[in-house]
């Protein structure tokens, strides 16, 4: 019998690892593997005691801009410049003459701001345990907290950047429609999907350091092949359909951008994301449970 | 409930081939194969063999042994960073660990922020940390510089800060690695006093060190390690005497890294 009464949560005063006795053969493999539920158990523990990762996320954000005169303004200004300059240029280059150039600003602002969030979260989560090595080796082994710290740090940045989205939507009059109510469903779906992928990547990235580099390249490519700068409606023919419908990031962006900017409810895209979420979380939970005893060795 | 640590025939091995087949570039097929075979074709390198011991409340244990004897590995197992490969390990009580010099301090953050960060990671609430701050500042003597970034601190200042925070939580089990005895005389004296006042009958200290003087002052019991095995367990004076005697050198054990029969290949 092998059991693992899990890692020491504060207040929980007991921890025991009982592994097979010597006569079953010291195969050297680490025993006492956690059950598949361990990711969710760890998540519950993390939300019960959120001090470390919330404070950590705040510190990370605060440190990034501490000694700068403009401080947090830098977070917003880069995005603002991007949206203004690219919006002005590409609305002339890409749109057909006579088309509505106004809505392009709202399109690119929403797409780009969400993209930054996705890209930063995925990129960094593949290296998160390596970056936290000192703390892990000193005994802080609530691995979920490191991912939540990173994720909520990017949520703070996303919050700042949303100012630009709101600005773009107000200035390029995008009307509030009934479709906006679906955001109450799609926004949580969006975050659930991204967080699930973060957990999956954090495990895979800890085992295979190459994943970090791979993500960098892949995400750079996907920035261009996902309709962020361009619009799906600009395409001609079926070839472009592959770039849209086989692209997971399209679905993620569209479930928010569709209702927000275009006033449509993208049922297909919502369905795809909703179906993907259980799969992503199942994979993440399996990988996490399998890998948890090894993280300290891999990093 | 009083705290205790109990190990029974505990083994610890690491898969030693991970560094070789870890890279997708060098060996993409092995990566896939390991996923399929669940890594069973890898070699394992035993670091700790057949360790059995029991630490009870009030024990102040010194871990003694030459470099590579397994002191840090054992501390990491006790801290829950590593998991035993075979055998049992039961720990009652919440541990506080000072295992590496940086201790995960955020060097750009201020001393005060690091107190909060470490406090939260020790499982304290914001209020509890705030309540402890005066006392932490008093011990660490860092009040004038507490709003400066930690990167401007000397290593002694960092050590004082980490030590003050870790002990302010009145840990049930305190794990210290040897770097702590690298502090100057004043630090060692002050930390000894603080440990004395903190370690009461319900608490355990496990301390790895090469410094016989500090060991004698802080510990009551000694666990002598060699090549990943416990070779002596007893009174600290006797343990130090054993470590310094020829008997320690004479003990023959399977060398660390040399695979034992049955452990070499799992299949």
Q: What is the DSSP code string of B189-248?
A: HHHHHHHHHH--TT-EEEEE-S-HHHHHHH-SEEEEEETTEEEEEEEHHHHHHHHHSHHH
Helix, strand or coil for residue B90?
strand
pLDDT the model gives residue A297: 84
Residue A11 falls inside a structural domain: no
Number of domains present in the structure of chain A: 1
User: Nearest CA of chain A to the CA of B182: how many Å?
Assistant: 18
pLDDT the model gives residue A159: 92
- The closest CB to that of B266, out of A28, A52, A137, belongs to A28
Residue A285: alpha-carbon gap to chain centroid? 16
Contact state of B109 with A56 under an 8 Å Cβ cutoff? no
The pLDDT-based confidence of A10 (bands split at 50, 70, 90) is: very low
Tokens matching residue A295: 């993280």
**Residues B254, B259: Cα–Cα separation, whole Å:** 8
Residue B197 falls inside a structural domain: yes
Taking the CA atoms of chain A, what radius of gyration do you get in angstroms?
22
**Residues A1, A212: Cα–Cα separation, whole Å:** 37
Q: Which residues, including other chains, have CB under 8 Å from residue A154's CB and lie 6 or more apart? A: A117, A120, A121, A124
Residues 7-26 of B with CB under 8 A from A: 9, 11, 13-15, 18, 22-25
Residue B74 falls inside a structural domain: yes
Pairing mode, if any, of strands B86-92 and B4-15?
antiparallel
A208 touches chain B (CB under 8 A): yes
ipTM: 0.79
Helix, strand or coil for residue A122?
helix
Residue A42 falls inside a structural domain: yes
Helix, strand or coil for residue B61?
strand
Which of B106, B121, B127, B208 best probes binding to A when mutated, by most A CB atoms within 10 angstroms? Answer: B121
The pLDDT-based confidence of A73 (bands split at 50, 70, 90) is: confident
Residue B208's closest CA among B196, B222, B227? B222
Domain residue limits at A148: 36-298
Contact state of A293 with B83 under an 8 Å Cβ cutoff? yes
A2 touches chain B (CB under 8 A): no
Specify whether the CB–CB gap between A77 and A147 falls below 8 A.
no
Number of domains present in the structure of chain B: 1
More reliable by pLDDT, A205 or B266: A205
Q: Per-residue pLDDT tens, chain B, 267 aa: give them.
A: 578 888 888 888 887 654 445 556 666 666 666 665 555 555 677 888 888 888 888 888 988 888 888 888 899 898 888 888 888 888 888 888 888 766 668 888 899 999 998 888 888 888 989 998 998 888 888 888 889 998 898 888 888 888 888 888 777 888 888 766 666 777 777 877 777 776 665 588 888 888 888 888 888 899 988 888 888 888 888 888 888 887 787 777 655 444 443 333 333
pLDDT the model gives residue A176: 79
- The closest CB to that of B263, out of A10, A26, A136, belongs to A26
User: Nearest CA of chain A to the CA of B97: how many Å?
Assistant: 6
Residue A12 falls inside a structural domain: no
Contact state of B266 with A27 under an 8 Å Cβ cutoff? yes
Rounded percentage of chain A residues whose pLDDT exceeds 70: 87
User: Nearest CA of chain A to the CA of B133: how many Å?
Assistant: 16
Residue B117 falls inside a structural domain: no
Residue A9 falls inside a structural domain: no
Among all chains, which residue has been given the structure tokens 């960060």? B117
Question: What are the pLDDT digits (tens) for A106-143?
Answer: 999 999 999 999 999 999 999 999 888 888 888 888 89
**Residues B158, A170: Cα–Cα separation, whole Å:** 50
B122 touches chain A (CB under 8 A): yes
Residue A153: alpha-carbon gap to chain centroid? 11
Contact state of A63 with B116 under an 8 Å Cβ cutoff? no
B112 touches chain A (CB under 8 A): no
Helix and strand tally (H, E) in chain A?
A: 13, 2
Which residues from B are below 8 Å from A25, CB to CB? 262
Residue B10's closest CA among B266, B229, B251? B229
Report which secondary-structure segment, H or E, holds B251: none
Residue A264 falls inside a structural domain: yes
Mean pLDDT of chain A: 83
Question: What are the pLDDT digits (tens) for A216-272?
Answer: 999 999 999 898 888 887 766 667 787 888 899 999 999 999 998 888 888 999 999
A235 touches chain B (CB under 8 A): no
pLDDT the model gives residue B163: 83
Over 60: is that where the pLDDT of A54 sits? yes
Residue of B nearest to A17 (CA): B89
pLDDT the model gives residue A138: 83
What values do phi and psi take at B18, rounded to 5? -55, -35
The pLDDT-based confidence of A8 (bands split at 50, 70, 90) is: very low
Residues 139-178 of A with CB under 8 A from B: 139-141
Among all chains, which residue has been given the structure tokens 């939580």? B169
- The closest CB to that of A139, out of B50, B85, B97, belongs to B97
- The closest CB to that of A137, out of B76, B113, B260, belongs to B76
Which residues from A are below 8 Å from B94, CB to CB? 8, 10-13
pLDDT the model gives residue B198: 67
Residue A71 falls inside a structural domain: yes
Residues 152-191 of B with CB under 8 A from A: 172, 175
Residue A144 falls inside a structural domain: yes
Contact state of A208 with B22 under an 8 Å Cβ cutoff? yes
The segment with the largest mean pLDDT, out of A69-83, A280-294, B57-71, B158-172, is A280-294
Contact state of B39 with A29 under an 8 Å Cβ cutoff? yes
Domain CATH code at residue B73: 3.40.50.300
Q: Which residues, including other chains, have CB under 8 Å from residue A169's CB and lie 6 or more apart? A: A106, A109, A110, A260, A261
Contact state of A8 with B94 under an 8 Å Cβ cutoff? yes
Domain residue limits at B210: 4-94+171-250
Residue B133 falls inside a structural domain: no
- The count of other CB atoms within 10 Å of the CB of residue B144 is 8
Q: What is the dihedral of CA A248, A250, A252, A258, to 10 degrees?
A: -160
């Amino acid at each position: 019998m092998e059991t693992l009464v899990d890692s020491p949560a504060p207040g929980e005063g007991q921890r025991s690892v009982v592994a097979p006795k010597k006569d079953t053969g010291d195969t050297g493999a680490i025993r006492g593997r956690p059950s598949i539920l361990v990711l969710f158990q760890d998540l519950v523990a993390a939300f019960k005691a959120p001090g470390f990762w919330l404070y950590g996320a705040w510190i990370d954000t605060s440190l990034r801009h501490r000694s700068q005169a403009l401080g947090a303004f830098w977070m917003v200004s880069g995005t603002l410049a991007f949206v203004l300059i690219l919006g002005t240029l590409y609305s002339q280059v890409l749109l057909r003459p006579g088309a509505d150039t106004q809505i392009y600003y709202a399109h690119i602002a929403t797409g780009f701001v969400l993209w930054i969030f996705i890209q930063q979260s995925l990129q960094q989560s593949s290296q998160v345990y390596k970056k936290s090595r000192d703390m892990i080796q000193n005994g802080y082994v609530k691995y979920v907290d490191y991912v939540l710290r990173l994720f909520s740090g990017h949520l703070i940045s996303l919050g700042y950047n949303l100012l630009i989205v709101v600005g773009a939507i107000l200035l390029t009059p995008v009307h509030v429609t009934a479709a906006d109510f679906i955001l109450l469903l799609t926004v949580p779906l969006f975050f659930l999907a991204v967080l699930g992928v973060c957990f999956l990547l954090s495990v895979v990235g800890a085992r295979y350091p190459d994943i970090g580099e791979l993500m960098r390249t892949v995400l750079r490519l996907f920035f261009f092949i996902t309709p962020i700068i361009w619009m799906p409606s600009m395409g001609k023919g079926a070839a472009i359909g592959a770039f849209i419908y086989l692209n997971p990031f399209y679905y993620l962006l569209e479930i928010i951008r569709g209702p927000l900017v275009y006033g449509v409810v993208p049922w297909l895209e919502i369905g795809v994301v909703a179906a993907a979420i259980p799969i992503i979380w199942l994979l993440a939970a399996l990988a996490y449970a399998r890998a948890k005893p090894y993280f300290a060795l891999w990093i | 409930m009083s705290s205790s640590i109990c190990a029974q025939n505990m083994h610890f091995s690491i898969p030693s081939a991970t560094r070789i087949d870890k890279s997708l570039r060098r060996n993409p097929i092995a990566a896939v194969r390991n996923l399929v075979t669940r890594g069973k074709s890898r070699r394992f390198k035993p670091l700790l063999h057949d360790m059995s011991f029991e630490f009870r409340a009030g024990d102040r244990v010194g871990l003694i042994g030459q470099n590579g004897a397994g002191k840090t590995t054992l501390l990491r197992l006790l801290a829950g960073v590593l998991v035993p490969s075979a055998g049992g390990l039961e720990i009652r009580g919440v541990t506080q660990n000072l295992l590496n010099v940086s201790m995960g301090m955020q060097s750009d953050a201020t001393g005060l922020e690091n107190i909060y960060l470490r406090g939260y990671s020790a499982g304290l609430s914001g209020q509890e940390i705030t309540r402890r701050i005066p006392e932490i500042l008093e011990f660490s003597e860092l009040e004038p510089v507490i709003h400066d970034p930690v990167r401007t601190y000397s290593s002694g200042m960092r050590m004082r800060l980490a030590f003050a925070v870790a002990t302010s939580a009145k840990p049930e089990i305190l794990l210290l690695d040897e770097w702590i005895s690298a502090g100057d005389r004043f630090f060692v004296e002050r930390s000894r006093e603080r440990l004395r006042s903190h370690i009461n009958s319900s608490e355990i200290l496990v301390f790895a060190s090469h410094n016989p003087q500090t060991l004698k002052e802080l510990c009551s019991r000694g666990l002598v390690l060699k090549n990943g095995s416990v070779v002596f367990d007893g009174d600290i004076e006797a343990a130090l005497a054993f470590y310094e005697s020829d008997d320690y050198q004479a003990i023959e054990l399977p060398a660390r890294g040399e695979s034992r029969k049955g452990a070499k290949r799992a299949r």
